[in-house]
Amino acid sequence: RPVLAIDIGGTKTLSALVDGDRVVAQRRVETAREGGPQAWLDAVAASIADWSGRYAAAGIAVTGRIAGGRWSALNPAILPVPDGYPLVEVLTERLKVPVTAVNDAQAAAWGEYRFGAGQGTDMVFLTVSTGVGGGFVLGGRLLTGRSGLAGHVGQILTDLSAGEQRLEDIAAGSALARSAAGSGRWSGPPALLAAARGGDPEAEALVDGAVRPLVRAARTLQMLIDPDCFVIGGGLGLAEGFLDRLRRQAAGLPPHYRPEFRAAALGAEAGLIGVADLVDL
Ligand code: BMX
């Protein structure tokens, strides 16, 4: 029987029945930001009510930190998760099957390592999404760390003239949405990216405001752990032209510092497939 996989992000929540590396059915609901965990889980449950009995175990990947089955936000601006929400306990009670929980980017890292663009490598997964998330698979092992923090690249502090900010304050989808709105010229990140592809100088400068700090972070990670590759996912990370910009920005680095960027082969399903596979471990 397939595994029920759920992926709660800052913008959308995906649910799927996953069989190995195959998503056999998928549903999507918006994550109602201010609703809180109960409302988020209610929306999921309603959208998959007809799947009951089709799975014997569940895995849930979430934006935020998981430790001992409890869920907390690191950056409530991405999603305001209350501190220490007993996610595994609540979901086990609701679904009546064993539940495994992990951070969304860690789950996607594992999916890409097992079945996607990072197979057989030491890899860093980076999602450029509502926030910036990350996951490390080194020596065939997914790192979660002492308290679930491992890989939280979006929380790295950048020291820029504007003041110290988290990487994801300047380099994520929500930052580009603010840039687009602030310019008054573009409706959102997709339009801004399209204009940058077309060579509009203002659009290029705004997009590079996200690309540059991401490449700097990747360069730092290359120095620290020297991975074989960086697998890039997320709505913005996988948007047309974004990866090319990362590569172009990195091209000036000396070869041994230069991160190798690859597109997530599993696309938006990396977290679902990864967390489903973690259930079986
Ligand atoms: C934030 C953090 C990470 C998450 C990343 C990407 C919260 C709520 N989330 O850095 O745990 O992996 O965003 O999340 O603190 P996404 O929702 O953008 O996919």
- Give residue for tokens 């430790």: 67
* Mean pLDDT within 99-125: 98
Structure ipTM? 0.99
pLDDT at position 280, please? Answer: 65
> 238, 231 in Cβ contact below 8 A?
no
pLDDT at position 14, please? Answer: 98
Shortest-distance atom of ligand 1 to CA 129: 18
81 lines ligand 1 (CB under 6 A): yes
* Mean pLDDT within 81-103: 97
Shortest-distance atom of ligand 1 to CA 9: 17
Q: How far is the CA of 221 from the centre of ligand 1 (A)?
A: 18
74 lines ligand 1 (CB under 6 A): yes
**pLDDT at 226 exceeding the cut of 70:** yes
Can you spell out the DSSP letters for 89-140? HHHHHHH-S-EEEEEHHHHHHHHHHHHSTTTTS-EEEEEESSSEEEEEEETT
Mutate to test the pocket of ligand 1, among 11, 103, 104 (most ligand atoms within 8 A of CB): 104
Q: How far is the CA of 17 from the centre of ligand 1 (A)?
A: 23
> 237, 264 in Cβ contact below 8 A?
yes
H helix runs in the chain, sequence order: 37-47, 87-95, 104-115, 167-171, 173-183, 189-197, 201-225, 242-250, 270-279
7 lines ligand 1 (CB under 6 A): no
The CA–CA distances, whole Å, from 240 to 53, 63, 202, 212, 237 equal: 39, 24, 18, 17, 8
Shortest-distance atom of ligand 1 to CA 153: 10
Question: How open is the CA angle 59-225-130, to the nearest 5 degrees?
Answer: 45
**pLDDT at 158 exceeding the cut of 90:** no
Closest Cα to atom 1 of ligand 1:
131
pLDDT at position 162, please? Answer: 65
Distance between CA atoms of residues 274 and 272, nearest Å? 5
- Please write the tens of the pLDDT for every residue from 170-189: 999 999 999 999 999 999 99
Q: How far is the CA of 53 from the centre of ligand 1 (A)?
A: 31
Q: Which residues contact 179 (CB under 8 A, 6 or more apart)?
A: 192, 206, 209
pLDDT at position 161, please? Answer: 65
Distance between CA atoms of residues 53 and 50, nearest Å? 9
Q: Which residues contact 137 (CB under 8 A, 6 or more apart)?
A: 109, 110, 113, 118, 121, 122, 123, 125, 143
Distance between CA atoms of residues 125 and 138, nearest Å? 11
Shortest-distance atom of ligand 1 to CA 81: 8
**pLDDT at 164 exceeding the cut of 90:** no
Per-residue confidence at 281, pLDDT binned at 50, 70, 90?
low
* Mean pLDDT within 12-41: 97
